[in-house]
Amino acid sequence: MSKFWSPAIESLVPYTPGEQPRIANLTKLNTNENPYPPAPAVTAVIQAFNTERLRLYPDPDASTLKQALAAEFSTETSKIFVGNGSDEVLALAFMAFFRQPKPLLMPETTYSFYDVYANLFAIEHTKIPLTSDFQIELDNYPSENGGIIFANPNAPTGVALPLSAIKTLLERNRDSVVLVDEAYVDFGAESAASLVDQFPNLLVVQTFSKSRSLAGLRIGYAIGSAELIDGLERVKNSFNSYPLDMLAIEAACASLSDKNYFEQTCAQIIATREQTRQALETLGFEVLPSATNFLFAKHRELAGSELMAYLRERNILVRHFSKPLIANYLRITVGTDTEMQLLIDTLKQHPAIETKPAP
Amino acid sequence: MSKFWSPAIESLVPYTPGEQPRIANLTKLNTNENPYPPAPAVTAVIQAFNTERLRLYPDPDASTLKQALAAEFSTETSKIFVGNGSDEVLALAFMAFFRQPKPLLMPETTYSFYDVYANLFAIEHTKIPLTSDFQIELDNYPSENGGIIFANPNAPTGVALPLSAIKTLLERNRDSVVLVDEAYVDFGAESAASLVDQFPNLLVVQTFSKSRSLAGLRIGYAIGSAELIDGLERVKNSFNSYPLDMLAIEAACASLSDKNYFEQTCAQIIATREQTRQALETLGFEVLPSATNFLFAKHRELAGSELMAYLRERNILVRHFSKPLIANYLRITVGTDTEMQLLIDTLKQHPAIETKPAP
């Protein structure tokens, strides 16, 4: 602690992102990045970009991107918000909606940044345990709350809720904001975006970082009632007028223009995921059902930390969380078929791992 | 107000950036953008960029940029912070340092975003009037404070303080953070960056948006003691891990690599500014001494709002602030010689403006 710091920051425990090491020949399955490049249209707009324009500020409203997203979701631009990655969108949403007299509710096991935001903005919050099979049970969320946030599919478990469960929650929770973080939704879950017109308290947050292969450009967005979007805009315009740069705005629009590429790469990742899941099961792993581009898996005999270290020594990076409830699990990003084959082959070489028939 | 908003956001009055209209043939002298393109090295890195890399997250620490900035300021990377434009750096600094029991001090007339940040984070603040000739008088800043922020050169006046005045302030104000916002310093003022090693409570904030022609890419930074930079990092890593995208990081490094281009374009803008200042004086304007890429000027007889409207009808945009103390002034960005000649010629055609010899 420094005497120059605001007293409130002493107790902050910042979020720890997955490692971004610069080592050659690394198989990087630790930060849920897409193994495929962004759509060819993205490359085209970046290569054709007239850099003389960079002397000017970008459009503070990123109107072209809002229009493209509104078309994508068959809605109006007044229901779309954009930001510097979905992390910034989430941070602004915490400021705009969750600084309430009642506590914010979140799953006990979920994206660990929620807890960090709540501490940054001094938001009282209550963590609701998952079920024993790592499901979010929305019936356990009390109606007295200052907001509800969860990821669907959840992270780092990969498990998805059906849309019907979210709708039931919304029907009985109409007085506070329900934020559904859909960072991974394009890999097989049902989006709640279709419910936005029915529920003015629903905010759906998505990102270009995973399914659109644009983690390097930092583009996130939210879909919600004009009332919620207006709240986000007020906070954003009191914080940073221009969070999205010109190249990010144009690349995001280009990505949205190529539906085929998007659908094909998502389908390929889903196919690779299911093959990998089966292969892991034959090696003695229990794998949670995943609707994401990662698998959450534990070996029946080996500790998660030991397996992570074993793989790391062999230049394969996976993510491990040293938290009691999930310490035996590895979070393994779905890469290309070749990368996943290398993972499986490397695991097979572990002296304590034997191949068994699938259960 | 919506029942879904955090109660604290009801009273927010967001910052209003200058207009970014998309009209052809507009002479845009309203947002202090650089009239020259970024350094050729910027174009080279963007054109050579392998877009396949965008699938990966950027380096959350932007280490290459911190190293380039540390070299530029002959200091260590532990004394450098980078962010999504200097606006984000300022917002994070307000969170990290100015949420104190004592009030933050700022000039009454200065960059209007300071006031907005203070309101967003519920920071009590006291505004200290400028002198009658629009100088910041640091002797008027009481020693009982929870921080001091000012722009040097100041905005929208363009007036600079000598480094000696800032040093005197720092010598008598050692217990709270002094933030010097140097967005415009490269156009003729003295930077306080050289004082960082002497004063652990000094934070200097700069930007690539003005002197480096990169407003479109959103890159700002701060120089300060490791103690202050660590405080900023804690808040940044509790808010958004990756505020700078890959292209912004690489373009910023490229810009720093071309010192000649930087010095030549700054010198050209300074020369154009001084010519324009003289020409405005012969047209009956009083012009404050500027150490920036803009001029703050009022006509002896015509109202600021009237002149702004007159110019706007003729496709020339300048900025006007409807605030009592400065309502008669126009803030005019220094463009190319051709743009400034068009401004002067257009003003000469105003029926109430006569050319007089320079005073």
Residues 6+ apart with CB under 8 A from A159: A134, A135, A136, A153, A288, A289, A290, A291, A296
- Buried/exposed A249-271: b ≥16 CB within 10 Å, e otherwise: bbbbbbbbbbeebbeebbeebbe
How far is A78 from A93, CA to CA, in rounded Å?
Answer: 16
B164 lies in the same domain as B268? no
CB contact under 8 A, A239 and B91: yes
ipTM of the complex: 0.96
A31 lies in the same domain as A144? no
Greater pLDDT, A339 or B24? A339
Locate A14 and state its tokens. Answer: 């910042």
Neighbouring CB atoms inside 10 A of B124's CB total 13
Contact A238, B114 (CB under 8 A): no
Does residue B204 form part of some domain? yes
Contact B226, B201 (CB under 8 A): no
- Which residue in A172, A212, A201 sits closest to A72, CA to CA? A212
Does residue A71 form part of some domain? yes
SS3 of residue A299 by DSSP: strand
Burial (0-12, 13-18, 19+ Cβ within 10 Å), A292: buried
Q: Nearest C-alpha of chain B: how many angstroms from A239?
A: 6
- Rounding to the nearest 10 degrees, give the CA dihedral for residues A320, A322, A328, A332: -10
A191 lies in the same domain as A292? no
pLDDT of amino acid A355: 81
Does residue A208 form part of some domain? yes
Tokens 């200042």 found at: B277
Which residues of chain A neighbour B3 with C-beta distances below 8 Å? 175
B228 lies in the same domain as B319? no
How far is B187 from A358, CA to CA, in rounded Å?
Answer: 70
Burial (0-12, 13-18, 19+ Cβ within 10 Å), B58: buried
Between helices A246-257 and A40-48, what is the axis angle to 10°?
140
pLDDT of amino acid A331: 97
SS3 of residue A200 by DSSP: coil
A287 lies in the same domain as A264? yes
Does residue B2 form part of some domain? no
How far is A89 from A15, CA to CA, in rounded Å?
Answer: 15
pLDDT of amino acid B18: 80
Give the sign of the dihedral formed by CA B242, CA B7, CA B100, CA A7: negative
Residue B39: pLDDT band by 50, 70, 90 thresholds? very high
Locate A206 and state its tokens. Answer: 């998505």
CATH code where residue B332 lies: 3.90.1150.10
SS3 of residue A169 by DSSP: helix
Domain final residue, candidates B257, B287, B304: B257
Contact A148, A104 (CB under 8 A): yes
Give the mean model confidence (pLDDT) for residues A163-190.
98
A253 lies in the same domain as A264? no
Q: Does the structure show a pLDDT above 70 at A359? A: no
CATH code where residue A110 lies: 3.40.640.10
A240 lies in the same domain as A208? yes
How far is B183 from B208, CA to CA, in rounded Å?
Answer: 8
Domain final residue, candidates A257, A280, A312: A257
Model pLDDT for residues A272-320, shown as the tens digit of each residue: 999 999 999 999 999 999 999 999 999 999 999 999 999 999 999 999 9
pLDDT over 90 percentage in chain A: 92
Amino acid at A141: Y
Task: Identify the H or E element spanning B294.
Answer: strand B294-299
pLDDT of amino acid B359: 54
pLDDT of amino acid B103: 98
Q: Does the structure show a pLDDT above 70 at B358? A: no
How far is A203 from A192, CA to CA, in rounded Å?
Answer: 9
How far is B145 from B131, CA to CA, in rounded Å?
Answer: 20
Task: Identify the H or E element spanning A80.
Answer: strand A80-83
Facing A227 at nearest CB: one of B4, B49, B231: B4
B69 lies in the same domain as B201? yes
Give the mean model confidence (pLDDT) for residues A335-347.
98
pLDDT of amino acid B306: 95
A52 lies in the same domain as A198? yes
B154 lies in the same domain as B265? no
pLDDT of amino acid B22: 74
Facing B96 at nearest CB: one of A6, A13, A38: A6
Q: Does the structure show a pLDDT above 80 at A356? A: no
How far is B113 from B144, CA to CA, in rounded Å?
Answer: 23
How far is B177 from B148, CA to CA, in rounded Å?
Answer: 6
Using CA coordinates, name the residue in chain A closest to B48: A47
Task: Find residue A102's DSSP bridge partners.
Answer: none
Q: Does the structure show a pLDDT above 80 at A202? A: yes
Q: Does the structure show a pLDDT above 70 at A244? A: yes
CB contact under 8 A, B5 and A38: no
Structural domain count of chain A: 2
Contact B276, B330 (CB under 8 A): no
Does residue B1 form part of some domain? no
SS3 of residue B34 by DSSP: coil
Q: Does the structure show a pLDDT above 90 at B17? A: no
Using CA coordinates, name the residue in chain B closest to A61: B20
Domain final residue, candidates A257, A274, A294: A257
Q: Does the structure show a pLDDT above 80 at A52? A: yes
Facing A46 at nearest CB: one of B46, B84, B235: B46
Tokens 């007089």 found at: B356
Contact B267, B62 (CB under 8 A): no
pLDDT over 90 percentage in chain B: 93
Model pLDDT for residues A103-162, shown as the tens digit of each residue: 999 999 999 999 999 999 999 999 999 999 999 999 999 999 999 999 999 999 999 999
Strands A220-224 and A80-83: antiparallel
Give the sign of the dihedral formed by CA B223, CA B206, CA B252, CA B239: positive
Residues 6+ apart with CB under 8 A from B264: none
Neighbouring CB atoms inside 10 A of A50's CB total 9
A207 lies in the same domain as A126? yes
DSSP annotation of B194 reads G
B128 lies in the same domain as B193? yes
Cis before residue B37, ω within 30 degrees of 0? no
Give the mean model confidence (pLDDT) for residues B322-350.
96
pLDDT of amino acid A1: 80
Residue B23: pLDDT band by 50, 70, 90 thresholds? confident
Locate A118 and state its tokens. Answer: 């709540």
Residue B20: pLDDT band by 50, 70, 90 thresholds? confident
Give the mean model confidence (pLDDT) for residues A61-77.
98
pLDDT of amino acid B357: 66
CB contact under 8 A, B218 and A14: no
> What's the mean pLDDT when you consider all of chain B?
96
Facing A218 at nearest CB: one of B201, B230, B242: B242
Q: Does the structure show a pLDDT above 60 at B272? A: yes
DSSP annotation of A252 reads H
How many angstroms separate the first and last alpha carbons of chain B? 53
Does residue A205 form part of some domain? yes
- Which residue in B228, B238, B204, B237 sits closest to B97, CA to CA? B228
Give the mean model confidence (pLDDT) for residues A45-53.
97
Amino acid at B177: V
What is the span of the domain harbouring residue B284? 9-36+260-348
Contact B37, B213 (CB under 8 A): yes
Q: Nearest C-alpha of chain B: how many angstroms from A186?
A: 16
Locate A200 and state its tokens. Answer: 């003015």
Q: Where are the alpha helices (DSSP H) in A173-298?
A: 226-236, 246-257, 259-282
Give the mean model confidence (pLDDT) for residues A200-210.
98
Does residue A62 form part of some domain? yes
How far is B121 from B62, CA to CA, in rounded Å?
Answer: 27
SS3 of residue B171 by DSSP: helix
Burial (0-12, 13-18, 19+ Cβ within 10 Å), A29: buried
Model pLDDT for residues B193-243, shown as the tens digit of each residue: 999 999 999 999 999 999 999 999 999 999 999 999 999 999 999 999 999
CB contact under 8 A, A237 and B175: no
Task: Identify the H or E element spanning A82.
Answer: strand A80-83
Does residue A327 form part of some domain? yes
- Which residue in B115, B119, B137 sits closest to B128, CA to CA? B137
Q: Nearest C-alpha of chain A: how many angstroms from B214?
A: 5
Greater pLDDT, B23 or A84? A84
How far is B31 from A114, CA to CA, in rounded Å?
Answer: 36
Amino acid at B332: I
Which residues of chain A neighbour B58 with C-beta distances below 8 Å? 20, 215-216, 218
Reported as half-sphere exposure (CB side, CA atoms, 13 A), residue B11 has a value of 9
Mutation target among A32, A51, A317 for the B interface, most CBs of B within 10 A = A51
Residues 6+ apart with CB under 8 A from A74: none
How far is B14 from A95, CA to CA, in rounded Å?
Answer: 14
